[in-house]
Structures are given as C-alpha cells and as structure tokens.
C-alpha cells in the first residue's frame, strides 16, 4: 500500500512517500480502507521527535492520528463491525498510521461514522473531539452554568471544545484573532477576546475551567483567571506526575516530568486552583457518545482545506507554517 512514513526524526526532510506491506489485522482488529485523514499538531511533534523519550516508535513510522473510512476485513473476535461499515477513529497512540491506504484498528478504538458527515468531515474530528470530551466531560466534569474558557476557539481543538462546552450548558469564553472573532461567535462562544487587541487576563475572571492549547505564558495567565477551586487543563503545558504514572514511565522520566511541571503546579496551588496535563486516549465508546451531538448539529466540524492524499507532505507544511485560517486540514483519497 502507499503511505507516508517518518524515516528520521527532525523535520519534513525525514518524511517520504513509500510503498509498504499491507497491515495485518489481529483477532480483535478491523482493517479499514482509509478515505480521509486529518493533520494535527501532534503529527508534527511526533515527526520532529518531541515525544521519543516516552513514545519510542520504531522507525520507519507511518504517521497520522485521525481517520474515516470503510471496513474491508474483520478479525475473528470482532463483534461490533462488519465489512462495508463506514467508521471513524483516532487509533491508539501505539498504533498510529492513518497517512496510508489501509490501517488495522482495534475494534474498541473505532466507532460508526456519523451519518450526517462526509468522510473528510468525519476524519477531521476524532482526535480533537476526544481531547475536548476527555478534558471537559471526563476530567473537568463541566456542569450547566459553569464558566469555561477555551483558548484558540477557531482552531482545530478550540472550535470543537467551544461547541462541546456550549452543549454541556456552560458559559463559554474563547480567544481568537481579529479575523476569527465572528467564527468563534458563530460556534457558540458567549465572549470572544480578540488577542490582538486585548489581554484575556484583564478581561476575564472567575472561570471554573480553562482548556489551554498554547502553554507557556498563556498557561500562566490562565491560572490567574480561574476562581478558587477551578482547574486548568493543558494539552501543551508541561507533563505532570499523574501523566507519568498513567504512562507507566520509568523513575527517571517520572522525576523529569515532575520537575518540568513544578512551576505550573506550584503557581496553581498558591492560587487555590489545580493544573493538569492531558494527553488524550483513543476511545470508540466516547466517539459514540459524541455522535448524537454531531448528528443533531450541536457539534459541527470546521475544515480549512482538503488536500489530495498524494499531497500529504504539502498539507503538513501548510499546517506547520500556520497557513490554516480555521479548523482542521484534511487529506482525502481520490
């Protein structure tokens, strides 16, 4: 099959198009013909080797973390799917590889594709939708009437998190550039802070939850807009001890993560709030819970551009250089 592989860590030069053997499907696996996949910042970070300390992939590695496609084969123990089913998924972190014509996915990580979406639309959702769900529902347990700040509300993650927070009944604020303010409002944000002209720390106060996708100073400021008892969840901040335990990291790596997150956790504690790092997990069951929100229009995908599959490297460069105006970039089979 045709695929895009990482031959060496370190950047775009380490990737190439390749012909590789078709994947083998195990007893609990579903073999999926991929119709579309989407580009995530995570793909760039894996390609660059940012996570090789705790996700030691064997190279060459087929990249890609989102897919939508059709089932072409099922393992003997598969009970949830049949040949011909339309599905979507974020494969497990140890079994990524959606920039390819085929992929074998464990049945637990797969879900039926929402009926109202095209393949390209469905492929744009799994990673960001699961991240938003695990942050706002599973971890923060957002309740109606709570105040939620979602950063970068017109971006891939932010555009879905804003909609999910509104569906949960929250009062939602977000940050966006001047050109994206109207889109953020259209997605349901009650308050949109134009970060080019305003400092969100000076505008917002008393929030219950912040979902941070930027890290650094943005995370430090986010702690200061929380009410006492509030929580900041970051997908871009420093990994914390809880994540190290969840990962099953060795003692040296646990110490490193503890040290990396020390300042954020200390500053949070001083303000009477909490900080936690989130690295999302694959879950077909959670995608099933999201599907009714998608099919009823409460969550809709936001797509910036669709590239043909053979231009996957160009699509990654487009994302890396910040050319996407809003939402996700997708690659689709022709």
Are 37 and 105 members of one domain? yes
Is the separation of the CB atoms in 307 and 330 below 8 Å? yes
Output the pLDDT for position 37. Answer: 98
Are 98 and 134 members of one domain? no
HEC assignment per residue over 139-180: HCCCCCCCEEEECCCCEHHHHHHHHHHHHCCCEEEEEECHHH
Q: Judge whether 100 lies within some domain.
A: yes
Q: Judge whether 270 lies within some domain.
A: yes
Are 37 and 166 members of one domain? no
Are 190 and 95 members of one domain? no
Are 264 and 310 members of one domain? no
pLDDT truncated to tens, each residue of the chain (334 aa)?
999 999 999 989 999 999 999 999 999 999 999 999 999 999 999 999 988 877 789 999 999 999 999 999 999 999 999 999 999 999 999 999 999 999 999 999 999 999 999 999 999 999 999 999 999 999 999 999 999 999 999 999 999 999 999 999 999 999 999 999 999 999 999 999 999 999 999 999 999 999 999 999 999 999 999 999 999 999 999 888 888 888 787 888 888 888 888 999 999 999 999 999 999 999 999 999 999 999 999 999 999 999 999 999 999 999 999 988 899 999 999 7
Domain count, the chain: 2
Q: Judge whether 223 lies within some domain.
A: yes
Output the pLDDT for position 129. Answer: 98
For residue 24, the domain's CATH number is 3.90.180.10
Output the pLDDT for position 152. Answer: 96
Output the pLDDT for position 249. Answer: 78
Please state, as a whole number, how many other Cβ atoms lie within 10 Å of the Cβ of residue 221.
18
Q: Is the peptide bond before 182 cis (omega within 30 degrees of 0)?
A: no
Output the pLDDT for position 251. Answer: 85
Q: Judge whether 286 lies within some domain.
A: no
Domain region containing 19: 2-125+301-332
3-state secondary structure of 243: helix
Residues sharing a CB contact under 8 Å with residue 190, sequence separation 6 or more, in sequence order = 171, 172, 173
Are 260 and 325 members of one domain? no
Q: Judge whether 75 lies within some domain.
A: yes
CA 43, CA 132: separation in Å to the nearest integer?
A: 18
Q: Judge whether 264 lies within some domain.
A: yes
CA 23, CA 21: separation in Å to the nearest integer?
A: 6
Are 186 and 54 members of one domain? no
End-to-end, the C-alpha distance of the chain in Å comes to: 15
Q: Judge whether 296 lies within some domain.
A: no
The pTM of the full predicted model, rounded to 2 decimals, is 0.96
């Amino acid at each position: 099959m045709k695929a895009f592989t990482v031959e060496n860590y370190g950047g775009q030069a380490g990737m190439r198009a390749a012909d590789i053997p078709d994947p083998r499907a195990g007893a609990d696996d579903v073999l999926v013909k991929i119709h579309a996949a989407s580009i995530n910042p995570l793909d760039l970070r894996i390609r660059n080797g940012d996570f090789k300390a705790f996700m030691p992939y064997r190279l060459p590695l087929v990249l890609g973390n989102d897919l939508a496609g059709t089932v072409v084969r099922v393992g003997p123990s598969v009970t949830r799917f049949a040949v011909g089913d339309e599905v979507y998924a974020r494969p497990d972190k140890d079994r990524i590889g959606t920039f390819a014509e085929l992929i074998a996915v464990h049945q637990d990580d797969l879900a039926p594709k929402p009926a109202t979406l095209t393949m390209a639309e469905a492929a744009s959702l799994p990673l960001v939708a699961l991240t938003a769900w695990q942050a706002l529902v599973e971890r923060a347990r957002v309740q109606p009437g709570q105040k939620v700040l979602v950063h970068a509300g017109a971006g891939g993650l932010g555009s879905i998190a804003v909609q999910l927070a509104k569906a949960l009944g929250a009062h939602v604020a977000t940050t966006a550039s001047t050109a994206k303010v109207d889109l953020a409002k259209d997605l349901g944000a009650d308050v949109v802070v134009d970060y080019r002209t305003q400092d969100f720390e000076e505008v917002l106060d008393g929030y219950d939850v912040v979902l941070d996708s930027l890290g650094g100073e943005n995370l430090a400021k986010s702690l200061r807009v929380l009410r006492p008892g509030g929580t900041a969840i970051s997908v871009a901040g420093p990994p914390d001890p809880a994540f190290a335990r969840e990962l099953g990291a060795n003692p040296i790596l646990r110490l490193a993560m503890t040290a990396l997150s020390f300042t954020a956790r200390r500053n949070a504690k001083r303000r009477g709030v909490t900080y936690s790092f989130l690295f999302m997990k694959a879950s077909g069951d959670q995608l099933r819970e999201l599907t009714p929100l998608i099919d009823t229009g409460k969550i809709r995908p936001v797509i910036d551009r669709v590239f043909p599959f053979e231009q996957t490297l160009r699509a990654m460069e487009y994302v890396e250089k910040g050319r996407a105006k809003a939402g996700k970039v997708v690659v689709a089979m022709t």
